[in-house]
Amino acid sequence: MLIAALAALPVRAAAPAPEAAPQAATGMPQISAPIALLIDVNGGRVLFERQSHRRFVPASLTKIMTSYVAFELIKAGKLKLDQRFTMSHEAFRKWHRVGSTMFLADGSDTSVAELLEGIVTVSANDGCVVLAEGVAGNVGAFTEMMNAEAKKLGMKDTHYNTANGWMDEGETYVSAADLAILSTALITRHPDLYARFYGHERLSFRGIEQPNHNPLYGHVDGADGVKTGFTNEAGYGLVGSAIRDGRRLMMVVGGYDRPADRTRESRAFLEWGFAAFEAHPLFAQGARIGTAKVQGGEVRSVGLSAPHPLALTLPRGAGARYALSVRYKGPLRAPIAKGDEVATLVVRVPGEGETRLPLVATEAVPEAGTLARLRNGLLAMLGQ
């Protein structure tokens, strides 16, 4: 591992902490869910966890990956929001009015944007199937794409067998840690699409209006996602996110028996995270932080930047000193795409251990052509 100390960024004291909040606001609330996780996205810090790597049935939390696959395809130019897909007779026969739905008619023609709105806002099972068939030809091929994206993201305790999370005797499973990885990627890789399709309290589609059942909306300041889930097999789950003054918290809870418990505790969970911890900003989104050496590329180094605002998260009122360094396994090998996560910012706090935050490539580095390979070889011989 190569470690490049950031000489331009000396060890420094964190910003003065605001006055500590009253104990009533910062006391840990009761969380009865068997599976629970709360992280500060900007600071990469786990604020609370309970069986975060335990595999469980996600129900409609599956649809986070369904939308993520679509977002990735849109970003790559392989799918367009105005493309239209048809509800096949077989899909209509199997999914008409089954569970949550956007009431697509047999043979109906629906745009990708409309399908995503239905999937995200009202958890439309029929919309997932139409999207999957339209993108990949059949649901099985689409779930292969879902699993491929999970592998790319390093989701080690996840497997998808369905595009909508309908009961499949446990063949589809996730973990809270993996759902946090996925939801963070959904937001940071696709901020514009996330803002367009997530956070809506209601869906009005073809004369039918339905509410979003996310219990955070309208009750937790800054709540903008992510997804609820329920089947008799899975119980009640929620991936929730809220952002305040640029600071984002991500929460996953699963396995509730009653929706009222999920509602009450999830709201308190996020509020506690904002009240009991505070962020000390390090770098703004897009800030250039360092460089990494590249092997076999048109250029011999690539810039490293923050994919989202990066911060040091500490208990409220706990001032600290910290040191920063950049770490990557290198030299990196071309090709590298702009935005690829290629390095880590390591934040060390005495008594707190270290936190690792992602760094991404500031530009694309294609594989070296003939002239670049000759140049790179010559420079290597000269020890440069």
pLDDT, tens digit (0-9, with 9 covering 90-100), for 117-161: 999 999 999 999 999 999 999 999 999 999 999 999 999 999 999
* CATH, range 31-278: 3.40.710.10
Where in the chain is CATH 2.60.410.10?
Answer: 2-14+282-381
User: Distance between terminal CA atoms of the chain?
Assistant: 19
Q: What is the DSSP letter of 72?
A: H
What residues act catalytically?
60, 63, 123
Where in the chain is CATH 3.40.710.10?
Answer: 31-278
pLDDT band at residue 16 under the 50/70/90 scheme: very low
The pTM score is: 0.87
- pLDDT digits 0-9 by tens, 35-55: 999 999 999 999 999 999 999
Q: Within its chain, how far is the Cα of 92 from the centroid?
A: 31
Phi first, then psi: give them for residue 206, nearest 5 degrees.
50, 45
- pLDDT digits 0-9 by tens, 182-220: 999 999 999 999 999 999 999 999 999 999 999 999 999
Q: What is the mean pLDDT of the chain?
A: 90
Q: Which residues contact 112 (CB under 8 A, 6 or more apart)?
A: 70, 74, 79, 80, 81, 82, 83, 84, 85, 131, 134
- Kind of pairing between the strands at 353-361 and 301-305: antiparallel
259/22: higher pLDDT: 259
The confidence score (pLDDT) of residue 103 equals: 97
Fold designation for 2-14+282-381: Peptidoglycan synthesis regulatory factor (PBP3), Domain 2 (2.60.410)
Percentage of the chain lying above the pLDDT 90 cut: 84
Q: Residue 337 and residue 321: Cα distance in Å, rounded?
A: 34
Among the ranges given (6-10, 164-168, 191-195), the one the predictor scored with the smallest mean pLDDT: 6-10
Give Cα separations from 36 to 18, 96, 239 (angstroms).
28, 33, 10
- pLDDT digits 0-9 by tens, 311-330: 999 999 887 789 999 999 98
The confidence score (pLDDT) of residue 289 equals: 96
The confidence score (pLDDT) of residue 324 equals: 95
Q: Which residues contact 143 (CB under 8 A, 6 or more apart)?
A: 132, 160, 161, 162, 163
337/20: higher pLDDT: 337
Among the ranges given (56-70, 118-132, 342-356, 365-379), the one the predictor scored with the smallest mean pLDDT: 365-379
Six token digits for residue 109: 């023609």
Buried b (16+ CB within 10 A) or exposed e, 271-295: bbbbbbbbbbebbeeeeebbebebe
Give Cα separations from 9 to 13, 283, 292 (angstroms).
12, 11, 17
Q: Which residue reads 């000269």 in tokens? A: 382
Q: Within its chain, how far is the Cα of 125 from the centroid?
A: 21
pLDDT band at residue 383 under the 50/70/90 scheme: low
Q: What is the DSSP string of 325-373?
A: EEEESSSEES-B-TT-EEEEEEEEETTTEEEEEEEEESS-BPBP-HHHH
In terms of Cα–Cα distance, which of 191, 155, 178, 339 is closest to 250? 178
Helix axes 63-75, 139-152, angle to 10 degrees: 80
| Contact present, 294 and 363 (Cβ < 8 Å) | no
For residue 335, say if its preceding peptide bond is cis, omega within 30 degrees of 0: yes
The confidence score (pLDDT) of residue 173 equals: 97
The confidence score (pLDDT) of residue 26 equals: 64
Q: Residue 120 and residue 115: Cα distance in Å, rounded?
A: 9
